[in-house]
Structures are given as structure tokens and as C-alpha cells.
Amino acid sequence: MPSTEQSVLLERIRLEDKTFQVTTETAVGTLAASIDRLGVMHPPVLLVVDSVYGVVCGFRRIAACKALGLSRISVRLLSPDTDKLTCVQLAIAENSLQRPLNLIETSRALVLLSGVHPNPADLRQAAGVLGLPDNFSAIHKLRQLSGLAPEIQEGVLLNVLSMAMALELGQMEKSSGIGLSTLFGYLKLGLNKQREILTMIQEIAFREHLTVKDILCAPELQQIMVHEKWDRSQKTIYLRQYLRGRRYPSITAVESDFEARVRSLGLESGMALIPPRDFEGTTFSFHLNFNNLVELQHRLSRLTEVSSSPILNEILNGCRISTR
């Protein structure tokens, strides 16, 4: 791999050409401070492209030098006849063999490698040598990440979105996927709540013949998101309530009626009436909490009184549904 050490003008380096860029890090403040004190410890690797220089390795070092106002930088200049395979291997190795790559960087590296190793078996072997995943299924999934919308990629980088969720959002209409990614990121939702909300929104859209974007833009949902007095936790609670009410209107109506009637029963602390799941069965239950025998006897006495209430009879006969 012939190369020479040279000093080149920064203005002749094409940073906008991201062909071989693997890193997702863009901040250069700390790096610039280090270069200002100690200089460039490891020269970037460049390739002559149409009388200017393309970057193979060292995007951030070059950007830091530009931020410092430098005019020249010492580089390692590859021979003009250097093939793409060599450039790809250099670009990946400088990152993957020095530090753990994040998911987006891994995706970029695998996409680069796929371009020079179209044969799956060759790709798998080359990936393993460079410290990348060498499982066919993992490679297939990971390669898709770098093609997602930047907003969804950002969700992955911030650990807001898992790879599975990011890929699912990426398969949706673009603005819908971005909207959900933004929603999950703002509310800082875990995977289980993300899955719950995504499923409800998709089911509402199907049921009401709307798009996911229509649901996200609903005035009621937007009012929840911009409410000034609610924190993220409260907004999540109200968002889930809103979506559940819209997805299961019959259950929600019966649930509200049930809660109102239970309040009328005047159950004391330590007593709870449990309805059938989704109000679709006929079996109710009472839950009693007690710390000693005296409390148990008191709860049972109160339960006897409640069992004679006409309100309880109304609940048992009225708070049920047969279909969703």
C-alpha cells in the first residue's frame, strides 16, 4: 500500500465527500484543543480525487484543524492507483480496531464493506477480520440502519430506539416514522411503552381508516404534548389513556362507568373491587388488605354491608361488554 507523507492545503480537502466516513461523532472542541497543544498525532489518510483530496481516514482531525484556522495539515497521501477495497479497509480498521463502534457506525462500516465484497461469504469473512459482526442475519439488519432517516438514526445513537424499533419505524411512511421517533425521544419511553403506543396508534389508524401521521397530529394528542404543567411522566400517562380510550371506546366507557359506581360504594382503604379482564367476563373479585385479625374482621364486616348495596348489584349486572 504505497503512500507518502505530505503537507497539503486544507482548502483542497473535500470534507463534504463522506464516502469513507464511519464515525458519527461530529464535535471537535476537545480534539481541536489537543491539536492546538500537541499537533496532529496521527496524520489523516487522503486520496487524490480529480485534483483535490478525498478523505479516507481523519474527518474529525481535519475539521478540528479548520476550526483552529490552520491552512495546512500533514497527511498520509495514498498512491493514486490505490483500490477502493484498500480504502474501505483502512477507513473501517482505524475505527473498529481502536474502539467499540456504535450501531450506526457499524452499519456504515458494513455498507462500505458490502460495496467491495458483494459475495455474502466473502463479506462475512472480511467483517470478522475487521472486528465487525459476521453473522448473516445481524449483517442484514445492521446494514439497513444507515439508510434510515437522520432523525431515526439519532434515536438509535441516543439509545432511545432499539435496532428492532428503528427498523420498524424505518419501514413506515417517512414522516410517520420520524414523528414516532421524535415522540419516543421526547417522552424518553422504554421499549415496552414504545411498543404499546406504536401498536395502539397503528390499530387506531387501521380501525378509523387514517394514517399514523393523522393520529400523531390529532389535536387531543398535541394538547397533551404541549401541556405546560405536565412533566414527561404525566404526559405519558395521559397519552396512553387517550390512545386506549380511542382504541377501545367500549371498554373505556364501561371502565369509566365502573369507576364511578365503585366510588359510590364508598369502599374504604384496604378494599378493592376487581372487574373481569376487559369487562368481557362475569367474574368479579374483592381484594382485601389487612395487617391483623381485627382488621380482617372489620373488612369482612364492611364487605357484608357492601354486598347488600343496590349499587353493587348494578355493577355486577351492568358493567360488562360482550365485544370490543
The residue segments making up the domain with residue 6 are: 1-82
* Number of separate domains in the chain: 3
* pLDDT at residue number 319: 66
Boundary residue ending a domain (55, 82, 109): 82
**For position 1, what pLDDT does the model report?**
61
- What Rg, from alpha-carbon coordinates, does the chain have? 30
CB 96 within 8 A of CB 132: yes
Statement to judge: residues 273 and 242 lie in one domain: no
- Domain identity same for 210 and 299: no
Q: Do residues 78 and 46 lie in contact, with contact meaning Cβ atoms separated by under 8 Å?
A: yes
Query: Does residue 69 fall inside a structural domain?
Result: yes
233 shares a domain with 162 = yes
Is residue 93 assigned to a domain? no
CATH number at residue 18: 3.90.1530.10
Question: What pLDDT score does 177 carry?
Answer: 96
Which residues are CB-contacts of 261 (< 8 A; sequence separation ≥ 6)?
311, 314, 315, 318, 319
**What whole-number distance in Å separates Cα of residue 181 and Cα of residue 170?**
10
Same domain membership, residue 163 and residue 240: yes
- Residue 50 Cα distances to 15, 25, 53, 244, 320, angstroms: 14, 27, 8, 59, 75
For β-strands 72-78 and 45-49, DSSP reports them as: parallel
Q: What is the pLDDT of residue 51?
A: 81
Q: Which amino acid is at 92?
A: I
Residue 14 falls inside a structural domain: yes
Residues 243 and 182 in one domain: yes
Residue 273 pairs in a beta bridge with 286
Shared domain for 207 and 171, answered yes or no, is yes
Report d(CA 94, CA 20) in Å as an integer: 11
* φ/ψ (deg, to 5) at 285: -145, 155
Among residues 82, 103, 138, which one ends one of the domains?
82
Asked if residue 8 belongs to a domain, the reply is: yes
Sequence-distant (≥ 6) Cβ neighbours of residue 91 within 8 angstroms: 20, 21, 22, 56, 57, 109, 112
Last residue of a domain, one of 49, 64, 82: 82
Q: Are 53 and 89 in contact (CB under 8 A)?
A: no
Flag whether 143 is in a domain: no
- 296 in Cβ contact with 288 (< 8 Å): yes
Residues 6+ apart with CB under 8 A from 14: 49, 52, 53, 54, 55
User: Is position 99 within any domain?
Assistant: no
pLDDT (0 to 100) of residue 281: 77
pLDDT of residue 324: 41
- The whole-angstrom separation of Cα 316 and Cα 40 is 78
Q: What pLDDT, on the 0 to 100 scale, is given for residue 321?
A: 58
**Distance, CA of 82 to CA of 85 (rounded, Å):** 8
**Angle at 103 (CA atoms; ends 102, 105), nearest 5 degrees:** 65
Domain assignment present for 123: no
Do 206 and 281 fall into the same domain?
A: no
What DSSP string describes 169-187?
HHTS-HHHHHHHHHHHHHH
Residues 155, 137 contacting (CB under 8 angstroms): no
Please identify every stretch of the chain with a pLDDT value under 50, giving residue numbers as ranges: 323-324
Task: Determine, yes or no, domain membership for 1.
Answer: yes
Residue 120's CB: how many other CB atoms inside 10 A?
12
Q: Where are the alpha helices (DSSP H) in 217-248?
A: 219-226, 232-247
